[in-house]
Chain A
Amino acid sequence: MTQPLGASSLTTSPQPPALRGPSARRPRRRRPVLVALALLVLGIAFGAAAFGSLIFPDAMTQDILASQLPPGSPGHPLGTDELGRDVLQMSVAGARSALLGPVIVALGSMACGVVLGTLAGYQRGWIDFAVSRWTDLLLALPVLLAAIVVSGVFGGGYWVTVVLLIVLFSPSDIRIVRAGVLEQSARPYIEAAQMLSLSRWRVMFRHILPNVTSLVVTNAMLNVAFALVAFSSLSFLGVGVSPGIADWGRQLTDGRAIMFVNPAAVFMPALLIVVVAVAANLVGDWIGQRLSRVGEDVR
């Protein structure tokens, strides 16, 4: 007897076997230890972004053209890069440009998504049509390729990249918010709000939006992770951060040349990008689960 058949005999509802069994019935829960660790990582990273310049004020201007030292050298626990700058100091100083951009991108595309997504989902009609076709168009563009082309035309630079990524990241936010708003709009509590003749703005932003917050916030955290990787990729390709600014992506490019002299010059920024991106993902999931539980029905 196979599993699905065995399962179907117990009730009148033969369901796909994947939904059955003891392991499937357990709600997916993130272990608190992992979340605590991820929060710690994010805390340190954002601390470094905020106060890094106070701890190591001269990360970029030190020892220019001194020798290239391997990890474990006296005074330089992670060694120095090809220009003789301390890798540890560079990594701390690089946190600011590596994190500031992604956070602005996530917030910016979240704002776009909330406004356009809510309008499209609640008002429907031509607004919905225009917004939906616009997102279709943007989703058809490969993010990195588009960023490289536009940076090439406009001469690149940090803030051009920020604006560009906001535009390119916004479709996912718009779609997610629109779907959430569509789902909520059909609920009786929205009709009850209409019975009170509340303005459409109040219905949209006071009644519907709080019910899609968990989606919005979770997606914003995921966007921080994606944008972090995108930024670093662009800097690595030389179209993001201009030379002379400490940044994890740039460190990757610069460190390649002396990879065999000082591997830490490449692996340290790479590790930081991965760890911070994973931590942002975990925290995003956790926040999403917490928020969605606030208004949860206890039937």
Chain B
Amino acid sequence: MTVRISELSVVGPAGVMVEPLSATVEPGATLALIGESGSGKTLTAKSLVGLLPRGFTATGAAEVGGVALPLAGGESAWRAIRGRTASLLLQDPFTSLSPVHRCGDQIAWTVEAATGSRLARSERDAVVEARLAEVKLPARAARAYPHQLSGGMRQRVAIAAALASDPQLLIADEPTTALDASNQAEILDLLRAVQVERRLSVILISHDLGVVRGRTDQVLVMREGHVVERGETASVLAAPSHPYTGALIEADPVVAAQSGTRLSPAQPVEGELVVRVMGLEKSFGTHRVLDDVSLDVSRGEILGIVGESGSGKSTLARCVAGLEHEDGGTISIDGVALAPGRASRTPDQMQIVFQDPYSSLNPMMSVGAILAEALRVAGRDASEVDGLLETVGLPAQFVRKRPAQLSGGQRQRVAIARALAPRPRLLICDESVSALDVSVQADILRLLAGLRDELGIAVMFISHDLAVVRMIADSVVVMWNGRVVERGECRDVLTAPTHEYTRLLVAAALRENTAPQIGRE
């Protein structure tokens, strides 16, 4: 039942996207494919299930349990073989399930497709229940529509559907990237447990080394279509031979969290107070999002705000920025209290860098026009655009480019440049690096730390990942259910958390491995 891939390569309209690569995955073993966006890891995965986009072709050979995959074959050749040999688990459980069908139906269809026969009604409920039990979901999940489930539960349904055809190879393409830190570990552990049970071969694709560590046997590091390094996961991570692998490991927040490395030295808070938030309250309908939140940010300080989605950290940022109207409490800048809303605020008080670099820049405006507009707002001359680009580490010729021509990291740099243009006293980074690859993420964090040192601005750095926050923040505030549950120096919070929830976050940040090892069960 071994999976063998030999000389697999993918050719696209722009040339060779994946150089020939070979690999073997034993039953029950996991092969990790690591690389940043554009490295060809997803194309490799798609070629193994015959889902390459139009214009792309795969060559070489691959077999799963002795059955050759029709790499160059058409849709009909694939239909006969797909699912029963290899199954694909996608990244985003919010879009990979059909929103208008019950979860149980979606699993049952896959079972029916794989066996080629329709299930009787009575039989069908039992089959679906068994499949759900395998992914530790209660039988009532079968009756639910995807929107009624949490992200973690949805991804469990997706796993059940992917396994419903009883494949011998499961390809998981960034299976946890869209999930919260606490859910990530659960899903990965579940995958591992199922894999051990079924003696399943798994190809796990990720840009996150934390996912790979301790959960995979072999690793292939890919860059620009080439395999730059391969070997046993443990030995590659311990002693990388290729400089790129080394850089990836160094950029990983988890590695930094475990070793205690920082991108910028923690600074004692001694600057003048810039922002003071006192007893902030906010409700959406009857749901209380912010409950008596108070915090201070001083000049030259990076304050990290950590919490999972729904903890109120983004709402806090939006209230401070004036994009949301608070119900009670005060927000003051430089000692002056501000009325709720944008009208009482000026661009030189605070700016936000948003999470998604793909939608935070106007697609119809050139980089030059975007930055010139931000400069004019502050009464600065448009000729300073080049200098601004230089500040964020972009060459001057980017002036003419449109956002669509830039990578995610480059876009985020433009967004930071735009935020810096009015010389704000406070920079709010709302999950600003969460959508980026690990290596790009480290670059942006380094840029932010450098800007703080250079310009001495105050920074509110919001993230769901404590590992990322502790790389640059001086002090940290932990939010849970709209309240501040813990605050203090970054190092103290990480090493000696007092609140139960903080302990969970720290464990998630260090990606503490709770997965069963092979053969132990």
Contacts and interface: CB of A to CB of B under 8 A. Distances in A.
Nearest to A26: B54
A12 B98 CA distance: 9
Interface residues of A, number: 39
Interface stretch (B224-232, B354-362, B385-393, B468-476): B354-362
A12 B363 contact: no
B352 A191 contact: yes
B347 A196 contact: yes
A22 B78 CA distance: 12
Contacts of B90: 11-13
A195 B373 CA distance: 12
Interface string B373-413: 11001000000000000000000000000111100000000
Interface in A15-69: 15-16, 21-22, 25-26
Contacts of B110: 8-9, 12, 14
Nearest to A208: B362
Interface stretch (B4-12, B157-165, B269-277): B157-165
Contact of A189 (B95, B360, B405): B360
A198 interface: yes
B114 interface: yes
A5 B105 CA distance: 11
A73 interface: no
B54 A211 contact: no
A53 to B, nearest CB: 40
Contacts of B96: 11-13
A7 B114 CA distance: 10
A4 interface: yes
Interface residues of B, number: 65
Given A10-B50, A10-B83, A192 B356 contact: no
A146 B98 CA distance: 44
A21 B363 CA distance: 31
Contact of B89 (A8, A12, A196): A12
A188 B359 contact: yes
B79 A6 contact: yes
B351 A195 contact: yes
Interface stretch (A98-106, A163-171, A290-298): A290-298
A200 to B, nearest CB: 11
A134 to B, nearest CB: 29
B167 to A, nearest CB: 9
A283 B496 CA distance: 67
B88 A12 contact: yes
Contact of B342 (A7, A189, A194, A210): A194
A10 B49 contact: yes
Interface in B418-432: 418-419, 422
A255 B159 CA distance: 70
Interface string A198-242: 100000000100110100000000000000000000000000000
Contact of A188 (B83, B112, B345, B354): B354
Interface in B80-112: 82-84, 87-90, 95-98, 101, 105-106, 109-110, 112
A217 B459 CA distance: 43
A194 B321 CA distance: 10
A58 B361 CA distance: 58
A197 B347 contact: yes
A13 B113 contact: no
Nearest to B375: A196
B158 A12 contact: yes
A299 interface: yes
B373 A196 contact: yes
A4 B79 CA distance: 11
Given A10-B49, A192-B354, A211-B362, A296 B113 contact: no
Nearest to A192: B360
A8 B363 contact: no
A213 B364 CA distance: 10
A194 B87 CA distance: 45
A86 B76 CA distance: 61
A1 interface: yes
Interface string B234-252: 0000000000000000000
B360 A10 contact: no
10 contacts: A8-B113, A10-B79, A11-B88, A12-B87, A188-B359, A189-B359, A193-B362, A195-B347, A207-B362, A295-B363
